[in-house]
A and B are shown apart, each in its own frame.
Chain A
Amino acid sequence: MSKDHRLLGARPAPHSVVAACLALLYLIAAERAAGADSAGIFDASILNTTDGQKIYEQVCQGCHMPDGRGATGAGQYPALAMDRTLVAGQYVALTVLKGRRNMPAFGAGYGFTLVGAPAVLSNVQMAAVINYVRTHFGNHYRDAISADDIAVLDRPDRNTAPK
């Protein structure tokens, strides 16, 4: 996997002197980070793992919950446990890659934030966590999805999230 896939995150075009300075900063920082060891346990655990379970526990369960059952308040987070929509690996991959409503996009170039860089998973990491979810929480879908499958979905002509 890439050493620091987060460097691939979307970057706003500079429109001003401030933006130019920030872009410069970005480049300096990116250059530095590329040569740096990972700082802190967070970087190490995220950037250096392709373990689907670890990715689920450190990112996905924030909303989908540790037991995969989602949650309900004024609105809800969908359960992944025994979820029939998971039958289509590509549907899941598109959702993770490009986002869907309040589900954030994790594909490089799809997510965006007002401050800082969006959270990004590599194709390998997305495949790992999708395969984990589709074979746990009561799901038994054995047709694993690969990083290459996700790369195919990541077509440059469709760079917006599904409506």
Chain B
Amino acid sequence: MTRQTAAAISRRRLFAMIGLSAGSTVMYQALHSLGFAAESSFRGPPQLGAAPAGATVLVLGAGIAGMVAAYELRNAGYKVQLLEYNARAGGRNWTLRGGDRYTELGGATQECHFDPGNYINPGPWRLPYHHHGMLSYCKRLGVALEPFVQINHNAYVHSQKAFGGKPQRLRTVKADYHGHVAELLAKATQQQALDAEVTHEDQAMLLASLRSWGGLDKNYRYLKGESSSERRGFERDPGGGLRGRPLYSEPVTFSELLDSGLWAALQLGDLYDFQTTMFQPVGGMGQVGQAFGRELAPLIRYNARVVDIRQDGTSVRATFQDVAAGSALQSVQADWCICTLPLSILSQIPMNVGSAMTQAINAVPYATAVKVGLQFKRRFWEQDEHIYGGVSYTDLPIGQIAYPSSGFFGDGKGVLLGAYIWDELSSMEFTAMSPAERIAKALEYGGQIHAQYPAEFDNGVSVAWHRSPFTLGCFGKWSEARRQEHYENLCQFDGRIVLAGEHASYLPAWQEGAVTSALDAIERLHQRALAAGASS
């Protein structure tokens, strides 16, 4: 492979790979808060104490933020009502399983034909170990968690322009990158190039550490041999008996590796949001929303499309239409309102708040994202390629292919996340397609990584978040400038109304942002309610 052919990775593909999509703030974190990775501010369930007698709260939206708020306020003794547009609880916390139907904006209806036990999560799909709030609510609601495999050294990294378009195992790219960098640094040390930076005593330690980190041999070289094969894998694995002697594998050259650009895919598992251990609810992320929905069932009014929010000195009134019944407008009233509607929706609803909050609501466009779930007749990625969970990353428009972290070694059909598209232009293009076209494209591209696709495909389902009737987008996009100008205005109380949701957090797109923003909002609400109760 020449420099020229490898040179053809387009910037956005490479960026898509670096961003590695994710549920994620990867790039954001890297650029804006290095060293300040945002650990959840969750410090245990709020200890609100008792609500003022008869105090009422209206919660708009039965997603994670709305239901966390409703759950805690109800427990404190508030009389709580929730209005929810969908016919189910959870919002973007949602799992598509066999038998589910989904109608997107524009009217296309898909019926999911997955086998029992198979699913995709169109929205959030994994929980970092430090998202203490989400983990805590899972425990309190009895939602069982299991490991989510994020990093799989045997999954692929793939560039159309590198290695002849042949997918590479993550472990070989990682081992060779570390090995070559370690060798280079060892050479520089031995040639006294680092004398000004590192003392002689430390140089000895540095050399030892480079050997151990990079898999270098006794001469500090990264070569075909035992130490490199123990990292990148063997040509023939060690075994027993007469044929047990291992054959070492040949590292790729540093030049080819650098030109491939695939090293850009190595960092993800080192980032705070994606470090082991990650979790997922057994049976799909939607188990969380369903559990909250059961818990709060008497409080939730479904199929309610909010069309107006109005406050005065003593109360807040929301007017809504029952979209299932198509009935006349109705309204509900309460002392306080926690509004968790996505800003993409809220910016269209008349609401008498001040210009600061209005401008903040209007300042946040929503990110695009598309997911495609593909069911195959057998788990060929396990049976043929020994990939058990984890994610393969590619510079193709599908962005990634994720393998299920449960049901390993099953004989039945299996479901892959066949596309998770964050690259803005690609996801817009996928959004503009019909559901069937999205699936066809996911098969076409994914087939370049797994040749089994055409023979083994069974059925699929796709969700383009800008076609989602209940969000009109995936999550709120903040730039640093807009956050500086509008974020506090978005989060401040305006009279009797306060907003919550991932859009009102420093954890964009993560459910933990919804949890922590809801808890922050209800604590402030409670203080106000107590103050108002005392003065009345």
Q: A residues within 8 Å of B by Cβ? A: 4, 6-7, 12, 14-19, 22, 25-26, 29-30, 32-33, 35-40, 42-43, 46, 57-63, 65-66, 71-77, 99, 101-105, 111-119, 160-161, 163
Contact = CB atoms under 8 A, between A and B. Distances in A.
Nearest to A17: B34
B13 interface: yes
Nearest to B475: A114
A42 B425 contact: yes
Closest 8 pairs (CB-CB, A-B):
A73-B469, A115-B19, A62-B431, A36-B8, A71-B105, A75-B345, A62-B432, A32-B7
B429 A46 contact: yes
A6 to B, nearest CB: 6
Nearest to A100: B362
30 contacts: A7-B11, A12-B32, A15-B34, A17-B34, A18-B30, A26-B15, A33-B11, A36-B7, A42-B426, A62-B368, A62-B466, A63-B472, A65-B106, A71-B469, A74-B341, A74-B469, A75-B348, A77-B105, A101-B347, A101-B362, A103-B365, A104-B365, A112-B477, A113-B422, A114-B24, A115-B24, A115-B27, A117-B12, A117-B15, A160-B481
Contacts of A58: 428-429, 432
Given A14-B31, A33-B8, 14 more contacts: A7-B11, A32-B9, A57-B432, A59-B429, A63-B467, A65-B106, A74-B472, A113-B367, A113-B424, A114-B478, A116-B12, A116-B16, A116-B422, A163-B363
Contact of B344 (A33, A66, A75, A99): A75
B106 A71 contact: yes
B160 interface: yes
B473 interface: yes
Nearest to A38: B10
A80 to B, nearest CB: 14
Given A99-B365, A114-B477, A18 B31 contact: yes
A26 B486 CA distance: 29
B362 A163 contact: yes
Interface string B297-312: 0000000011000000
B526 interface: no
Interface of B: 7-16, 18-22, 24-28, 30-32, 34-35, 85, 105-107, 160-161, 261, 264, 305-306, 341, 343-345, 347-349, 359, 362-363, 365-368, 395-397, 422-426, 428-429, 431-432, 464, 466-473, 477-481, 508-509
A7 B243 CA distance: 54
Contact of B31 (A22, A39, A59, A105): A22
B302 to A, nearest CB: 12
Nearest to A78: B348
Contact of A43 (B10, B106, B464): B10
A99 B347 CA distance: 14
Given A58-B432, A74-B305, A103-B365, A115 B160 contact: no
B85 A73 contact: yes
Contact of B11 (A26, A46, A114): A26
Contact of A36 (B10, B31, B472): B10
A7 to B, nearest CB: 7
Q: Which of A16, A39, A61, A62 has the most CB of B within 10 A?
A: A62
Given A26-B11, A163-B362, A73 B432 contact: no
Nearest to B12: A117
Contact of B9 (A29, A59, A66, A161): A29
A34 to B, nearest CB: 9
Contacts of A113: 367, 422, 424, 477
A6 B345 contact: no
A83 B404 CA distance: 46
A29 B14 contact: yes
A8 B507 CA distance: 28
Nearest to B19: A115
Q: Which of A75, A113, A160 has the most CB of B within 10 A?
A: A75
Nearest to A27: B11
Contacts of A99: 365
Nearest to B263: A25
A117 B105 contact: no
A29 B15 contact: yes
Contacts of A46: 425, 429
A103 B25 CA distance: 22
B161 A39 contact: yes
A14 B363 CA distance: 24
Nearest to B473: A102
A126 B26 CA distance: 31
A17 B426 CA distance: 29
B482 to A, nearest CB: 9
Contacts of A63: 105, 431, 466-467, 472
A42 to B, nearest CB: 5
B21 A115 contact: yes
B426 to A, nearest CB: 6
Given A18-B31, A101-B362, A59 B432 contact: yes
A111 B479 CA distance: 10
B345 A59 contact: no
Contacts of B397: 40, 42
A83 B26 CA distance: 40
Nearest to A104: B365
A112 B15 CA distance: 13
A103 B160 CA distance: 32
Contacts of B24: 114-115
A46 B106 CA distance: 23
B10 A39 contact: yes
Contact of A116 (B19, B479, B508): B19
Q: Which of B27, B345, B363 has the most CB of A within 10 A?
A: B27
A19 B33 CA distance: 10
A29 B424 contact: no
Nearest to B24: A115
